[in-house]
Structure 1
Amino acid sequence: MEYVKIFFVNTALLITLSYLANLIYKHTVTYASEPVKKVSWVLLAIFAGWVSTIFGYRLDEHVIFDLRFVPLIISTLAYPQPLVLIIIGVGTGLTRLTFGVTEAAVVGVLNLSILGFVCAGLSLWMQRSSASVIQKGLIAVLVVNVVNALNITVFGVIPAQEYITDILPVTFPAGFALSVLFALIIRDFQLDLMRTGQIVRANELLSEQTEELHKNKIVLEERAKQLMLASQFKSEFLANMSHELRTPLNSIINLSQLIEESEDELSVEELAEYGGIIHRSGEDLLSLINDILDLSKVEAGKLDIVHEDFNVSEIPDLLLQQFSVVAKQKQLAFDISLDTEMPGVIYTDPQRVQQILRNLLSNAFKFTMTGGVSLNVRVVEQQEGLSSRKWVAFEVQDTGIGIPPEKHDLIFEAFEQADTNISRKYGGTGLGLSISNDLARLLGGFITLHSREGQGSLFSLYLPL
C-alpha cells in the first residue's frame, strides 16, 4: 500500500509541476525560438524526474521506488524526437546519482538510459504509424512500464522472487494507471498549449497583415500623390505645349499671309527675312514634334539603337558649327576639348549620342546669361566591385542659373522642369533631359548631374568604352 501512496504523491507533484510549467511556458517560452523551447522541455522533464525521486518510496537505504520514468513517457507523446528522448532518459538517470553513488544508483542510471532509447524507438514508430493518438499513448505507456519492470527484475537490485511476488503486483498496475492518468492530464495541457500557440500565430499573422495593409495604404497614398502630380505636370505640359506650338505656327501663318497679301509691296530683303523667320519657325516646330515622337517611342520600347563606329574627333566640328552662332549671339565663351587618351573611334549609335549632346548643350546655352559653356570629352575609370571599368565621359559645363539639389531627380522626368516658371521665361517643354536620360540607358550608359542654384551645372554623359 505504501507504493500506491508514494505513486499518488509523485503524481500530485508532477501535476503541480506541470501546471506551474504550463503557466511559465504560456507567458515566456511560447515566444522563444524553437531551440530554446527544446532545451526548456529537456530541462523540465529531467527536473520532474528528479523531483519524483526525492519523494519516492525508500525500500531500504539505497533502493527508491518512484515515477521518474513518467516525464519520459510524456515527452514521448508530446515531443517525439529520438535524440531529445535519449537525452531526457540519460539525464534523468544521472540525477539518481545525486542521492549517492551506489549499486542501486548505477542501476537506476542504466534503467532510465535504456528507457530513453526505448522511447526513442517508440517515437520513430509513432511518426510512421497510422494508429490514433490514444492508441499510441496507451502502447507507449504499456511498453515503458513493462521495460521498467523487466529492468528491475533483470538487474537484481531487489531479489527477483521478492519483486515479482510482493512488489510487482502492486507497483505495475498502479504505475500503469497513474501514467495513463498523468498522460491524459498532460494531453489536456498540451492541447491548451497548442491552442495558445495557434492564437499567438494567428495574432502574429493578423499583425503582419495589418502592417502590410498599412504599408499598402502608404504606397497607395504615395501613388495617389504621384498620379495627382503627374496629372498636374501633364496639364502644365499641355499648356506649355500649346504655347510652344502656337508661337512658331503663328509666325508661319502671319508671315506667309503677309507675304501673300503684300507680295508686290515687299522688297527682296524683306522677303528673305520673312522667309528665314518662317524657316526657323518650321525647324522649331519640327524639333518639338520629333521630341514628342522620340519620347513616345522610348516609352513604347520601339526606339531603335544602331551601333556602329563613331569617330570622336568629329565631335568638335559638328557641335561648334551648330552652337557657335548661339554663343556669339549671347556673347558666351564656348570651348570643346578632347582628352589625349581618347581613342579615335568608339562603338555606339552616333545619331543618338549627338542628339543627347545637342539637348545638353541647348539647355546649357538656354539657361546661361553670362560666362560660358564647355564640353570636355575624356576617358574615366570607375571601380565596380573587385574590377574596374572604363567609360567615355562627355561633360557639359555651364555658368548658368544652376539647379537646386532637391530638383536634381525631378528634371529627368518627362513633362517636368525644375520650376514651372522656367518654361514661361526660357521656353521649352521639359522633354529634352527625359529623352536624353532614356537614350543614355539604351546606349548602356547614364547621365549624372552636379549643380547648385546660381552656380552653374555640370551634366555628364557616360558611355561604356
Structure 2
Amino acid sequence: MEYAKVFIINISILTTLTYTAMLVHKYLLSQASGVLKYALSVLLAIGAGWLTMVYSFDVGPDIKFDLRFLPLIICTLVYSNPITLLVIGVGIGVARLTFGLQSAAWAGCLNMVLLGVLCVILNILLKKVDWSFWAKITVVILAVNLANCVNVALLGTIQIEMYVSQIVPAILPASILLSFFYMFMLSDFHLERRRVADVQIAHDSLQRQTEQLIATRKILEEKAHQLMLSSQYKSEFLANMSHELRTPLNSIIALSQFISDADKQEDGSETAEYAAIIHSSGQELLRLIDDILDLSKVEAGRMEILNEEVIISEITYVMEYSFRHIAEQKGLEFAIQEEPELPSLIHTDALRLQQILRNLLSNAFKFTAHGSVILRVWKPEPRDEGLSGEWVAFSVSDTGIGIPEKMQEPIFEAFQQADGSISRQYGGTGLGLSISRALTGLLGGRLKLSSTAGKGSTFTLYLPIR
C-alpha cells in the first residue's frame, strides 16, 4: 500500500512539473532558440527523475523505490536523437548519487544507465515500424518496467528471493498501471492543447482573411467609384461634343442645300451634284451625332421624358408617312395593323416613342430585301407576357436576314451588330437598338426580340397605357 502512495505522489509531482514546464515554455521561452529549448528539456527530464527520488519509498537503508524511470519512457517517443536518451539516463543515474554514495546508490545509478541504453535501442527500433502511438508506448512501458525489476534484482542490495516474491508483485503492476495513466493524462492534455492551438490558428487565419476581404472590398469600391466617374465624364464629354459639332454641321448642310438649289436653277452644273453629296453626307453625319448625343444623355442621366397624352392613330400615321416611300423604293410590302380593342390614347413621351419605332422600322427595311415589313399595334394579355396592369404593344416584323440566337443579346449593346461584316454591307454604327432599349427603360416599358436567322425578326415594344 505504501508503494502505491509513493507512486501516486510521484505521478502528482511529474504532472505538476509538466504543466509548469508548458507554462514556462508558452510565456517565457516561446521566442528562445531551439538549442536552448532542447537543453532545458533534457535538464527538465533529469530534474523530474531526481524529484521523484526525493519523495521515494525507503525500503531499507539507502534503498529507494520510485518512478524515476518514467521521464525516460516519455522521452523515448519524443526525441529523435537516441543519444539524448542515454544522456538523460546517465543524468538521472548521477542524480541518484546525490542521496549518498553507498552500494545501493551506485546500483541505482547503473540501473538508470542500463535503462537509458535500453531506451536508445527502443527509440531506434520503433522508428522503423509503422505502429500507432499507443502500440509503441505500450512496448516502451512494459520493456522499461520489466528491465527495471530485472536490474534491481540482479544489481540491488536486496535479496533476490525476497525482492521477487514480496516486492515485485506489489510494485510492478502499480508501476505499469501508473505509467499508462500518466501517459494517457499527458497525451490527452497535449491533444487538448493542440486543439486549442488549431482553433487559435484557424481564428487568426479567418481574421486575416476577413481583413484582406475588407481591404479588397474597399479597393473594389474605390475602383467602381472611379469607373462610374469616368463613365459619367465620358458621357458628359460626348454630350457636350455632340452639341459643339451640331452647330457647324448644320451650317454646312444649310449652305450645301442653298448651293445645290441655286446651281440647279441656273444650269444644272456639277457643282449642284457635289453640293447634293455634301448635303447627303452632312445629313448622315448629323444622324450619327444625334444618336451619340441621345446615348450620352441617357448614360449621363440627362435625358428628359415628358408624360403626355399620345393618340395611337397619330403615331401610326407618322410611321406610315415616313416609311411608305422607302417601302416603294425597295419593292417591299409595308402594312400597319391596329387591333380594334386598342385604347385611343396612352400616356407616354410621343417624341421618344416615335424615335424607338423609327429605329426599329429603319432596321427592318435596311435588312429586308424581299417580302414585307409590318407594324402591328395590339393589346397584350398581361398574364401571358408576365406584366401587370394595362399595356399596349408595338411589334415590328420583317422577313429579312434575321439574327442568330447567340447574337440576340449583344446587338442591344452600343456599337454592336450581329456580324462585323454587316456594317460594311448595310452601313450603320449599331447605336439604334442600344438607344431604343435605353429609351424604352425610361418610358417604363420593355423591348423584346424574337428572331430566326434567315427568316426575319420581330421586335416588340411594350408600354404601359398609364
Compute the TM-score of the two structures, normalised by the length of structure 1: 0.47
Larger Rg: 2
Which is bigger in relative contact order (C-alpha 8 A, separation at least 6)?
Answer: 1
Compute the TM-score of the two structures, normalised by the length of structure 2: 0.47
